[in-house]
Amino acid sequence: MKSLLNWLDNRTGIRRLTREALFENIPGGARWRYVWGSTLTFAILVEFITGIMLWMFYSPSANSAWESVYHLQENVKGGDWLRGIHHWTAQFMIVLLVLHLVQVVVDGAYKAPREFNFWFGLALLGLTMGLGLTGYLLPWDQKGYWATEVATNIVGNTPLIGDYLKPLLIGGNEAGHHTLTRFFALHAGVLPALLIGLIVLHIYLFRKHGITPAAHKTAASTRHFWWVSCFTMGFAMTMVGINWRAFPEESRPMVGIVPGVITVLCLLRVLYLYVRKRGLEEEDDVRPRRGDAYFWPDQVLRDAIACAVVMGGVLFFVGQVGTELSAPADPSENYSAARPDWYFMALFALLKDFDLITGAFVIPGVVATVVFLMPFIGRKRVGHMFNLVFLVVVLGGFVHYTLAAFTHDWTSAGHQAAVAVAHREADRVRVLAKSPDGIPPEGAISLLRNDPLIQGPKLFAKNCASCHGYGGHDGMDQQRKNQQSASDLKGFAGREWSRKILNAESFAHPDFLGATKLIEGSKMLKFLKGDSFGALPSEEVHAIGVALSAEAQLKAQRAIDAADVDLIEEGRELLSIECTDCHVYHGEGEKGIDLTGYGNREWQISFIRNPSHKRFYGKRNERMSIFGPKYKEDGSLERPAQLSDQEIGFIVDWLRGEWYEPPQDEGTEGGSEGEELTEDDKPEEKLPPAG
Amino acid sequence: MAINDPDDDIADVPMSQALRGVRDGGAQEKLKEGGEDPGEPASPVDASPLRREFLSIALGGAIVAAPTVVGLRVVLSPLFSRKAGGIVARLTTLDSLEVGGPPQAFKVIADKTDAWTTYKDLPLGLVYAQRFAEKKVVVFSASCPHAGCAVEYRREGAHGAHYYCPCHESSFRTDGSLAPDNTQAKRGLDELEVDQEKLEKGEVWVRFQKFKAGITEKKAVS
């Protein structure tokens, strides 16, 4: 072993290298406050390890990026953890960088002769934010796409060069394949290479100048330290207090208690220092400094523990919070939930208070310039104090704007609704991607674009909800913008619906026809109130309703319709006797709304295409649009269709409950078939698993 | 950085002790450069540096191992999902093959999920089908069992009609066995399983699989 080491050492000088690495002198001995640099190095190492592995699964193109990330996350064992570690370590890196910067400024480690190292550090901060920005886009999901849209448009507004910079950055005039290939090359190639180079220089200069010796510790300096801590905590609590609504309700007590306790502890500490001052002050000033020590093993152990805490935090977040993958990017969907990563939220919020140039360039530019000049400003003691105050103010502003942005989002009903829609689409696209048809070659976005469950309510809210309701809202779970003036179409043509048709009271209810002009002088209402209908036994009215509803062949009623064959047959016969004076029904009757196939797919599509057709309302149509193409008397086109047949199909399929549902869990499949498969009020739960 | 010549001997003591003297000079000198007080000389080595050294190494190893192990599990995932079964696909109708006629090449077309994309009617590979008797169809994979090039059917040659691989001149009889002038292949062409039931109904369905190239036995790999 020893001879092997000698052999290796003769050729590589490995012993000397090890010594240099491990036996760095630390004046004053190992300290916890020196761990930040090492935790950052560790975090970068983790990013490189996980990043290269993610690379093996990633496909940078607009119709495969989301799909490849989805595949890794959902179908490859451990894939969600790999992506999660990469994502959350990046979040921790931002925090660690800020802590490192604070430690450097507080310790005065930016002063001569360490200016260059300070600047390298700032450049590393910038590179890391660049890595965050580029990495955010790569999954090509709605979140990343729209955040990048904002970011690259800001780049496009860069004074003088913006018009050239943006096309270079996104590889054209619009985001697309080349945006991904460029961002990927930046994220996995250019920026990491620069990062490595700068880290080498950073560590080289750090080793050249050594650790900044800690200032002589005296009773006064200790008191100052704790006073500053009290002040900072108070400042932080004020910021949190202003923005308390940024925090989820259940976490608010913790948000108040934790900093409060820390502040009280700081105050107690100051108090204690004053109390014991009398006996110790003289001794304090001459208290012997702690001895120097080497990096190895004491500082290494502290560094390792700090890194372990970071890793623990990362794993905690991966396990508890997970890593979001929203729906595939779709430029045609106005994604109102668009937000950048949290550390850009302050800049994002700045743009609400300031115009684009001021908020995105002037303010950050001034801050960056001052921070850059800190080594010069800090030459004198007063300059150092200025730097400290400046840093506290900038960080305070950062925290304030970040919290304010989150407060706004937490309390904005509009944003919460947008987030709910975003989550629904993200969940839905996963369900569709797991269906037997899988993800088609044109990408997962087509799954959502062709899904009645997603498109139906959107089209309903846009085209139908100005008059109609859906379960009391507009189809998208939003409050209606105006008074409902036509029927509530939830459950259209279901049994409950046909029961309402056959009851004078519910027929004239505003949720049915009550709010329309059709109700005035309605022959149907007269009929329902009339004696001949009143003479019908209620079982027969029920049979008519069931038979009418069965015409729709609703998916949810398949089981009970099959069970009620006899009742439906009875109802059909009654229908053709009682209703055909005013309706057409399977060849019987000559006028009025066609009840043949009432509410089935073809019937509903034809109805929406042209409610004024003689098969439906005819000339009595009050104000419902002809959504299909409209023709003049002579048969020529008056105007093209408002909604395509495909779009009408989405609305109809959604109203009819016809969309892909994943199979119920297999565990219950075997047992349920033979046993208690009887009528029930909830037909959707009674569907035989095979159906 | 000024460093004394390295000490070639590493005694059986903690590294911090073994190499301690080496760097003291360097550290002192560096501190003077900065013009700052060097402070007290390093205190005597703690009684249990070995324990801290061990802890440092163990902890450091563990935290780097965590992401690495997760990553390796993911990267090595192709090794954990190896199952051979092939894809069953319809080739043609039985009528389109002439009894006793020459082999015909067919593209195998079927639905396939490649990682995240599900393709409809994707060409998966090439096979040769030959009808030897009324209800006997033999299907060979066109993939050469030597190294996987696509073999060609040739009507003429030293030994009559045969399959020939243009890459390394392997040669096979029409029944798939190795021809006398074969050079490299170690086994005959890979015969694919034909669905006899479907054949009775007049259709040719085949289980399309890949087999490990280069060896004597026929071992399915997909």
How confident is the model at residue A140, as a pLDDT?
96
Distances (CA, A) of A307 to A49, A51, A89, A310, B56: 15, 18, 11, 5, 11
| B6 in contact with chain A, both atoms CB, cutoff 8 A | yes
More confident: B3 or A356 = A356
Give CA–CA dist A440/A63, Å, rounded.
Answer: 10
Indicate whether A146 pLDDT > 50. Answer: yes
How confident is the model at residue A226, as a pLDDT?
78
Compute the nearest-CA separation of A208 from chain B (Å).
7
Residue in the block written with tokens 């960080």: A395
How confident is the model at residue B193, as a pLDDT?
95
Q: What are phi and psi of B141, to 5 degrees?
A: -70, 140
Band of residue B142 on the pLDDT scale cut at 50, 70, 90? very high
> How many domains does chain B divide into?
2
Band of residue A533 on the pLDDT scale cut at 50, 70, 90? confident
Interface test with B, best of A17, A25, A434 (most B CBs within 10 A): A25
- Note the pLDDT tens digit of each residue in B31-72: 333 333 444 444 444 446 788 888 888 999 999 999 999 999
Tell which residue, A295, A240, A246, A288, has the closest CA to residue A262. Answer: A240
| B129 and B200 belong to one structural domain | yes
Going by DSSP bridges, is the β-strand pair B203-208/B191-194 parallel, antiparallel, or unpaired? Answer: antiparallel
How confident is the model at residue B83, as a pLDDT?
79
| B94 and B9 belong to one structural domain | no
Q: Which of A56, A85, A292 sits opposite B67 (nearest CB)?
A: A85
Indicate whether A480 pLDDT > 90. Answer: no
**Stretch B158-171: mean pLDDT:** 91
| A294 in contact with chain B, both atoms CB, cutoff 8 A | yes
Q: Which of B45, B61, B78 is the last residue of a domain?
A: B45
ipTM greater than 0.90, yes or no?
no
| B40 and B149 belong to one structural domain | no
Are the Cβ atoms of B118 and A82 closer than 8 angstroms? no
Instruction: Could you please state the CATH topology (level 3) that the domain comprising A25-214+222-243+250-420 is classified under.
Output: Cytochrome Bc1 Complex; Chain C (1.20.810)
Residues 19-48 of B with CB under 8 A from A: 19-20, 22-23, 26-27, 30-31, 34, 36-43, 46
| B101 and B194 belong to one structural domain | yes
Band of residue A289 on the pLDDT scale cut at 50, 70, 90? low
Tokens, residue A409? 């989002």
Query: Facing residues of B136 across strands?
Result: B133
- Note the pLDDT tens digit of each residue in A261-282: 888 888 888 888 777 755 555 4
Indicate whether A118 pLDDT > 80. Answer: yes
How confident is the model at residue B44, as a pLDDT?
45
Residue in the block written with tokens 């619009």: A174
Whether the Cβ atoms of residue A260 and residue B12 lie closer than 8 Å to each other = no
- A608: burial class by Cβ within 10 Å (0-12, 13-18, 19+)? buried
Cis peptide preceding A159, ω within 30 of 0: no
Concatenated DSSP letters of A90-107:
HHHHHHHHHHHHHHHHHT
Compute the nearest-CA separation of A625 from chain B (Å).
39
| A113 in contact with chain B, both atoms CB, cutoff 8 A | yes
Q: Which of B70, B72, B120 sits opposite A85 (nearest CB)?
A: B70
Helices B49-75 and A79-106: angle between axes, nearest 10 degrees: 140
Residues 187-216 of A with CB under 8 A from B: 207-210, 213
Indicate whether A426 pLDDT > 50. Answer: yes
Give CA–CA dist A92/A102, Å, rounded.
Answer: 15
Q: Which of A25-34, A460-469, B184-193 has the lowest mean pLDDT?
A: A25-34
Tell me the percentage of chain B whose pLDDT exceeds 70.
78
CA A50 to chain centre: 23
| A434 vs B contacts (CB less than 8 Å) | none
Tell which residue, A69, A151, A206, has the closest CA to residue A339. Answer: A151
Are the Cβ atoms of A301 and B52 closer than 8 angstroms? yes
CA B59 to chain centre: 34
Tokens, residue A546? 């069931």
- Note the pLDDT tens digit of each residue in A196-247: 999 999 999 988 888 777 666 666 667 767 777 777 777 778 877 777 777 7
Whether the Cβ atoms of residue A511 and residue A529 lie closer than 8 Å to each other = no
| B190 and B94 belong to one structural domain | yes
B37 within some domain: yes
Q: Which of A13-17, A423-427, A458-462 has the lowest mean pLDDT?
A: A13-17
CATH number at residue B170: 2.102.10.10
Whether the Cβ atoms of residue A285 and residue A219 lie closer than 8 Å to each other = yes
Distances (CA, A) of A190 to A49, A62, A138: 17, 21, 15
Q: Which of A235-244, A256-265, A642-651, A659-668 has the lowest mean pLDDT?
A: A659-668
Tell which residue, B20, B22, B31, B42, has the closest CA to residue A292. Answer: B42
Helices A35-55 and A300-320: angle between axes, nearest 10 degrees: 50
Give CA–CA dist B160/B183, Å, rounded.
Answer: 17
How confident is the model at residue A669, as a pLDDT?
41
| B97 and B40 belong to one structural domain | no
**Mean pLDDT for chain B overall:** 82
Going by DSSP bridges, is the β-strand pair B152-154/A25-26 parallel, antiparallel, or unpaired? Answer: unpaired
Whether the Cβ atoms of residue B16 and residue A26 lie closer than 8 Å to each other = no
Residue in the block written with tokens 């030959």: B130
| B41 and B111 belong to one structural domain | no
How confident is the model at residue A243, as a pLDDT?
76
Indicate whether A677 pLDDT > 50. Answer: no
B54 within some domain: no
How confident is the model at residue B140, as a pLDDT?
97
Q: Model pTM?
A: 0.83
How confident is the model at residue A666, as a pLDDT?
54
**Stretch A543-572: mean pLDDT:** 92
Band of residue A689 on the pLDDT scale cut at 50, 70, 90? very low
**Stretch B124-138: mean pLDDT:** 94
Give CA–CA dist A22/B22, Å, rounded.
Answer: 12
B50 within some domain: no
Are the Cβ atoms of B73 and A291 closer than 8 angstroms? no
Range of the domain at B146: 87-208
Tokens, residue A7? 């052999």
CA B146 to chain centre: 17
**Mean pLDDT for chain A overall:** 86
Residues of chain A with CATH 1.20.810.10: 25-214+222-243+250-420
Tell which residue, A301, A318, A343, has the closest CA to residue A38. Answer: A301
- A371: burial class by Cβ within 10 Å (0-12, 13-18, 19+)? buried
- Note the pLDDT tens digit of each residue in A295-319: 788 888 999 999 999 999 999 999 9
| B96 and B27 belong to one structural domain | no
Residues 399-438 of A with CB under 8 A from B: 433, 437-438
Q: Which of A57, A289, A308 sits opposite B59 (nearest CB)?
A: A308
Whether the Cβ atoms of residue A428 and residue A456 lie closer than 8 Å to each other = no
Indicate whether A40 pLDDT > 70. Answer: yes
CB atoms under 10 Å from CB of A590, counted, come to 9
Band of residue B14 on the pLDDT scale cut at 50, 70, 90? low
Whether the Cβ atoms of residue A57 and residue A68 lie closer than 8 Å to each other = yes
Tokens, residue A170? 């996104």
Indicate whether A474 pLDDT > 50. Answer: yes
How confident is the model at residue A620, as a pLDDT?
83
Band of residue B21 on the pLDDT scale cut at 50, 70, 90? very low
- Note the pLDDT tens digit of each residue in A50-77: 999 999 999 999 999 999 999 999 999 9
**Stretch A363-384: mean pLDDT:** 92
Residue in the block written with tokens 């208070």: A353
Contacts 24+ apart (CB under 8 A), A229-234: A229/A266, A229/A269, A230/A263, A230/A266, A230/A267, A230/A270, A232/A392, A233/A259, A233/A262, A233/A263, A233/A266, A234/A263
| B115 and B195 belong to one structural domain | yes
Whether the Cβ atoms of residue B100 and residue B131 lie closer than 8 Å to each other = yes
B39 within some domain: yes
Q: What are phi and psi of B128, to 5 degrees?
A: -115, 130
Cis peptide preceding A340, ω within 30 of 0: no
Helix (H) or strand (E) holding B206, with range, is: strand B203-208
What amino acid is encoded at A223 in this protein? Answer: R
How confident is the model at residue B5, as a pLDDT?
42
Compute the nearest-CA separation of A304 from chain B (Å).
5
